[in-house]
Structure 1
Amino acid sequence: MRSLLHRLFSRPGSRAFDAAGGGRRWEGQRTVDGLNTAILAGATTAARRAGWYARNNPWVAAAVDSLVGNGVGAGIKPQSTHPDRAVRERLQVLWLRWTDHADPGGLADFYGLQAMAVRAMVEGGESFARLRVVPDATAVPLHIDLLDRDQVPLDLHRDIGGGARIRAGIEFNGAGQRTAYWVMRDRPGDPLTSLRLEPLRVPATDCLHLFKPLAAGQLRGITWLAPVLLRLHELDQFEDAALVKAKVAALFTGFITDPDGTAGGLTGTNTNGALTVGMEPGSLIPLPPGTDIRFSNPTESDAYGPFVKNHLRAVAAGMGLPYELVSGDLEGVTYSSIRAGLIEFRRRVEQLQHNVVVHLFCRPVWDRFVRLAVLSGDLPARDFDRDPAAYLGCEWLPPKFDYVDPKKDVEAEILAINA
């Protein structure tokens, strides 16, 4: 028995996996103790840095736009699956009437809110929305208020008794189910905000929390730029240095030398000794005896382009995008190569659409919309209590992807159908 315990719990002299080994080659290597621990420690700082780059870096702006445009596009739209055609048509009419009134601020329709929520998720790692029931004579009385991620305090932790507790601004019951979100009335940092900083308890059924879950039990989201932010920062500094070097080199046309020191002053110089005589095509400038001229020949680095391209490929890979969509560089792209890259990208987009956006954002909205339509009398449904699933059933249809080469793609589909 003792020998068995010794074999089970004793530490071996060498690791079976290099990744778990030690030694000089692993010096300084960091590890992650837990996803929630890492998120609680650094999600806010990472989100704010990502927001800065999304507004100031052209490649990040292109990457975010591409993810939003491909993930949501003109909108992920519902199609009722109720067996009665009349009910389906009535739901469609009510839905089309309501979408223009979904945003209480009037800046977007429901599909515009989808895009803004996904954009906030990509940049900041997560987005929140609150479902409000308000009187509206023109449509189903439902509004969607988008919330800033900072309105749900990441540092709010509290035990509230009965096995319930608040973790990262989210309230859980004793069974580990999300029961409420604690939401600030105003956006922190807004110069026009009020001083009411005490969060309000909002039932989880009235809140939408959109983020990409990476592990079971994950509390909050992390910016999608997290794997590439440091690389982007270093690339920005490299580009600034290269630009300054090129600007300084371009300022010098040539240098006049006086080996003997007997030439004296030059005509056309300013107080600092720089020659300011205008240069024109075919012009000749006389020089005093004993002087010579050496023209500036700044060196150009042939490694600049490949270096930047290599880093942009890493950024694209870290964000799950084809390099061409991040850089806008289509040089050397062929039909086969771009199609192969887009196939893999579209698989990721479909995963985002159905596993994240539809599941966490669209379905709760449809559920609340249908129930309010029934309660308000806009949708006659006497058998709703007996069979709610028939009314709540819905298929969400994302925008169709365009063909890379319509002729070849259509011919391939025809061959597949006839096979």
Structure 2
Amino acid sequence: MRNFIDRIIGYVNPHAGIARHFARQQLQRAYEAASPRDPWRPRRAGASANADHQADAKTLRNKARALVQNVPYIWAGLDGLVAATVGEGILPRPTGSEKDKLSKLLKRWMKVCDADGRYDFFGLTKAAYWAMEQDGEVLVRLRTRRGTDGLPVPLQLQLLEIDWLDSARSGTLNGNQIVNGIEYDMLGAVAAYYLWDQHPGDIAVARGRSQSQRVPANQIIHLFNPARPGQGRGFSRLAPVIARVRDLQLYEDAEIARKNLESRLSVLASGDMNAMENPAAMGGGGEAPGGGVRDLGELGGGNIFGMPNGMNFTVVEPKAAPGYVEYVKFALHLIAAGMGVPYHLLTGDMSAVNYSSARVRILDFRRAVGQMQWVTLIPKLLIPLYQAFVQHAWLAGLIKTLDMEVEFSVPKWDYVNPEQDVKADLAEISGGLSSFSEKLRQRGYDPKVVAEELAEDIKLYRELGILDVMLFMQRGNMPTGSNAEGSGSSKES
């Protein structure tokens, strides 16, 4: 809007008035959210991911652990997420020139790979992924062993909670920068980690413990899922929902207290209290400390009590407040969305689920799980672990070449509707829209392995003379009765 000064300037110098008008237009915000009149101000605006981590990550981690330990649906959601992502285990399969030797060594080593003796390889993978999602990050330390230790390959893995990392360590060392317990070289690559000798939260840890020790980066696998460029540490997956879960817990506590009040029936009596001097006749009442107030005692169901003349009674019966179930379901939907898991996986509630809605949500969930498997878990944990395994096997003279070629088989997904899904896949293959190999990969199978197994099965059935029988059974027209006898007689002739 033009004010008094604008009108004077425009009257004296029209060109200056026009320039003033357009200059004012340029000051207006293109985005309403960027207007200075908006009262909302983000906390620590402009801080780096590492600054945010240093300020908040420990608190978020402790709260996330408390929720997993105490809130059933948070445990169920995290457990379902881990089951979908890791399942029975993500299997590495050597594919290079040393694949036969490495496969045998890998099968034996997987059983004894844990330095603490608690997991096999698949169990360690599951525990590492669980810790990453709950705490935001986890460490795996590579422990080289002696050849005389009797291991298939002289290497073991030590799974460490992120608390082992000295997050308070910062500064410089020989030109390298130390941030949040991680040392970076001049090119920004990780050079080392600073670890405590024991878990700092352990009861047996002495109060005057020594400083953390420097461990070279090639002995540590740091698993986390960075969301921002330059992010050197991870945040818990539960970070966006911690406050909402706590609010819901407080609401549930308040609802329980209100339900306790609703379930209690109170009676207010007014009149001549002297007539109630016989507690036994009145149901076992007595005088309160303040005097003048009588307690009728417990009134048994179906009993008849005589009351004095002139007494007035008022029954206090709290009214139930509606909307509790609806609000809880709405809040749980938001929490499930924040965690990235389907609602029914978080709650087990299938009451509002039909085939179409379940399929759509499961397809979205599968894409998210696949992204986690192939973008984070496999390249940042499993490939480095496999490469360390091969390197130690080569150094021990167990293989001739440093063969790092490997493929991974992720857990297959179960069919939502087996008959319809298989028919749809076969229709895509017959229409040229997909290949057998692609459909097998989508189900977690290795096409080459499946083809080899089929060839071996067909060869075996042919040698046993039952290939025709298997084909008849597959087509559903197995010969019976006279047809089978006729077939046999013609074959004999």
Normalised by the length of structure 2, the TM-score is: 0.76
Confirm or deny that 1:101 pairs with 2:121. Answer: no
- The corresponding residue for 1:208 is 221
Q: Deviations over 1:286-324 (max 9, x none)?
A: 323233544453322221111111111111111111111
| Match for residue 411 of structure 1 among 417, 420, 423 | 423
Secondary structure of residue in 2 paired with 1:298: coil
Q: Which residue of structure 1 lines up, in the alignment, with residue 318 of structure 2?
A: 298
Deviation at 1:410, TM superposition (A): 2.0
Distance in 2, matches of 1:242 and 1:168, equals 42
Q: In 1, are the aligned partners of 2:93 and 2:409 still within 8 Å (CA)?
A: yes
Alpha-carbon deviation of 1:38? Answer: 1.2
Structure-1 separation of matches of 2:377 and 2:24 = 47
Higher relative contact order by CA 8 Å / sep ≥ 6: 1 or 2? 1
1:32–1:38 Cα contact (<8 Å) kept = no
Matches within 5 A, 1:380-419: 381=400, 384=401, 388=402, 391-419=403-431
Structure 1 position 11, deviation (Å) = 11
Q: Is there any run of 5+ residues in structure 2 with no aligned partner, and where? A: 1-22, 289-293, 432-493
CA distance in 2: counterparts of 1:126 and 1:62, whole angstroms: 20
Q: Shift of residue 197 of structure 1?
A: 3.5
The alpha-carbon deviation at position 278 of structure 1 amounts to 5.1
Match for residue 50 of structure 2?
36
The code of the aligned residue for 1:365 comes to L
- Read off the aligned partner of 1:289 and give its amino acid letter: N
1:87-139, CA deviations, whole angstroms, 9 ceiling, x for partnerless residues? 32221111110111111221111111111111111111100110011133142
Q: Secondary structure at the match of 2:235?
A: coil
Shift of 1:406: 2.1
Letter in 2 for 1:275: L
Q: Which amino acid aligns with 2:218?
A: T
Matched, 1:137 2:113: no
CA RMSD of aligned residues (A): 2.2
Name the residue aligned to 1:228: 241
Task: Choose 406-415 or 301-310, whichever is displaced more.
Answer: 406-415
What is the rounded CA distance, in whole Å, between the counterparts of 1:69 and 1:233 in structure 2? Answer: 25
What letter corresponds to residue 66 of structure 1 in structure 2? G
* 370, 386, 391: which one aligns with 1:371: 391
Once residues 418 and 292 of structure 1 are traced to their aligned partners in structure 2, the CA distance between those partners, rounded to angstroms, is 85
Report the equivalent of 1:308: 328
What is the aligned counterpart of 2:59 among 38, 45, 57? Answer: 45
Give the drift of 1:146.
1.1
Preserved contact between residue 166 and residue 172 of structure 1 (Cα < 8 Å)? yes
CA distance in 1, matches of 2:25, 2:153: 65
3-state SS in 2 of match to 1:210: strand
1:20 to 34, 44, 60: 34
CA radius of gyration, larger in: 2
Residue of structure 1 aligned with 2:296, choices 275, 278, 286: 275
Stretches of structure 1 lacking an aligned partner (at least 5 in a row): 1-8
Match of 1:125 among 120, 123, 136: 136
- Which structure dedicates a bigger proportion of its chain to helix? 2
2:76 is paired with a residue of what secondary structure? helix
SS of residue matched to 1:111: helix
Match of 1:171 among 183, 188, 195: 183
How far 1:397 moved relative to its partner? 1.4
2:283, 2:228 → 1: CA distance? 74
Q: CA deviation at 1:166?
A: 1.1
1:180 is the counterpart of 2:196: no
Counterpart AA for 1:128: L
Change (3 A) 1:198 1:284: same
- Stretch deviating more after TM superposition (359-368 or 163-172): 163-172
Aligned to 2:201: 189
Tell me, yes or no, if structure 1 residue 339 matches structure 2 residue 359. Answer: yes
Work out which of the residue numbers 53, 67, 83 in structure 2 matches 1:69: 83
CA distance in 2 between partners of 1:259 and 1:320 (Å): 63
Between Structure 1 and Structure 2, how many residues are aligned?
A: 397
CA contact (8 A) 1:50 1:124 kept: yes
- 1:333-370, Cα deviation, whole Å (9 max, x unpaired): 11111111011111111111111111111111100101
3-state SS, counterpart of residue 228 of structure 1: helix
Deviation of residue 210 (structure 1)?
Answer: 0.6
| Separation of aligned partners in 1, 2:57 and 2:39 | 26
1:114 to 112, 116, 125: 125
Deviation at residue 44 of structure 1 after TM alignment:
0.6
**CA offset digits 1:127-172 (Å, max 9, x no partner):** 01100111331421111111121211222111112x3121111111
Partner of 2:469: none
Which residue identity lines up with residue 197 of structure 2 in the other structure? R
Secondary structure of the 1:26 match is coil
Give the corresponding residue for 1:355: 375
- C-alpha separation between the residues in 1 aligned to 2:188 and 2:145? 31
User: Alpha-carbon deviation of 1:12?
Assistant: 4.4
Q: Which amino acid in the other structure matches residue 339 of structure 2? A: M
Q: Percent identity?
A: 33
| Cα gap change, 1:377 to 1:310, in 2 (>3 Å) | same
Judge conservation of contact 1:164–1:171 (CA < 8 Å) in 2: yes
Matched, 1:92 2:103: yes
**Higher mean C-alpha displacement, 170-179 vs 397-406:** 397-406
Amino acid at match of 2:113: A
Note the C-alpha offset of 1:259.
Answer: 4.4
Change (3 A) 1:293 1:88: farther
Q: Name the aligned partner's letter for residue 174 of structure 1.
A: M
Decide whether aligned partners of structure 1 residues 328 and 197 sit closer, same or farther in structure 2, where only a CA change above 3 A counts: farther
Distance 2:181 2:313 in 1: 71
CA distance in 2, matches of 1:270, 1:153: 65
Which residue of the partner structure matches residue 452 of structure 2?
none
Deviation track 1:213-255 (CA, whole Å, cap 9, x = no partner) reads 11121011111111111111111111101111111322x2241
- In structure 2, distance between residues paired with 1:29 and 1:301: 36
Q: Which residue of 1 aligns with 2:455?
A: none
CA deviations 1:174-193 (Å, max 9, x no partner) are 11111111111111121022
Instruction: Provide the rounded CA distance (Å) in 2 between the counterparts of 1:31 and 1:404.
Output: 45
| CA separation of 1:274 and 1:404: change in aligned 2, threshold 3 A | farther
* In 1: Cα distance, 2:53 partner to 2:254 partner: 33
Shift of 1:416: 2.0
Distance 1:124 1:64 in 2: 12
1:260 CA drift (Å) = 5.5
